Structure 1
Amino acid sequence: MKKVFFLLFLGTLLQSCASDTSREKIDNLNGYWEITKAELPEGIIKEFKFSELVDYIKVDSTAGFRKKVRPQLDGNFIASEDVEIFEVKVENDSINLYYSTPYTNWKETVISSEENELVVLNQDGIIYTYKRFTPYSGNYGQEDQ
């Protein structure tokens, strides 16, 4: 009987640690991300040396949005009118983002979400790697959204 209680306790402890890790990885999604490469399922790798658009991601609890912004030299951003809303779900130890727009629905799986790197896999098998955007000036984070 003691073994059963110990196993239940251990399982609960491990589950709470896993959810803390997931919460941190979800929180890491927040911010400005610049694409660095895309890896196609065929093994083709497309490197991005520079992109004039940056993805701004904001997550609150189990929902969030992504929009394209254009960094300005003064540290501000010009935001597009388009917004992609997503739902965050932790499924089988993976963080999945379920997007929904008036035109289509799709899913991305977060492979890695660190402080300075984000890697996601889309449903077509393409792996996108992003780095945290480095601002052009000291006014970082004052977006015009």
Structure 2
Amino acid sequence: MQRLLVFVLLFVVSCGNHVSSEDLKYLNGYWEIENVEFTDGSQKEYPMNTVVDYIEIKELKGFRKKVAPRFDGTFETSDDAETFTIQEENGLYYLKYKNPLSEWEERLVSLTEDTFTVKNPDGITYHFRRFEPIKLD
């Protein structure tokens, strides 16, 4: 009975982080970093951010750029953006970046409408939450 319980728990946990091709549309939009997990187990929390990421994808190609939210609901931005492609390998999705100076990738660990997590090849995990502007009434 205990073996069955352990198997069921492992199955539920592993299925909870599965990213499907239908989920990829959730990447579109504004995201802020929530926390970073390092390989030694330590974490860095980001309770407030002055810069957020804007991500836009279409047909497994996209870009990511840093934008600074303003109090009037607009964003200050530059023309700088990192382009990427999304590639599926053995059921896992990778964001693959390439520019004239560098190449890197991040594995998409989890993705929902409100959160996503990526892990780089160094084992550092980045947790993001959907950006919600501060409302001043």
Corresponding residue for residue 57 of structure 2: 59
Residue 102 of structure 1 deviates from its aligned partner by: 1.8
1:53-105 CA-partner distances (Å, limit 9, x unpaired): 00000010110000000000111001133210001111111110100122100
Structure 2, unaligned runs of 5 or more? 1-18
Check conservation: 1:28, 1:115, Cα contact below 8 A.
yes
Q: Percent identity?
A: 42
Are 1:42 and 2:40 an aligned pair? yes
- Helix, strand or coil: the match of 1:42? coil
Check conservation: 1:32, 1:132, Cα contact below 8 A.
yes
Higher radius of gyration, 1 or 2: 1
Corresponding residue for residue 10 of structure 2: none
**What number of residue pairs does the alignment pair up?**
118
Structure 1, unaligned runs of 5 or more? 1-20, 139-145
Alpha carbon RMSD of aligned pairs, Å?
1.4
Residue 137 of structure 1 deviates from its aligned partner by: 4.6
Residue correspondence of structure 1 range 66-145 to structure 2 within 5 A: 66-137=64-135
TM-score normalized with structure 2 length: 0.82
**Structure 1 runs, 4 residues or longer, greater than 4 Å off:** none
Determine the C-alpha separation between the residues in 2 that align with 1:63 and 1:132. 20
TM-score normalized with structure 1 length: 0.77
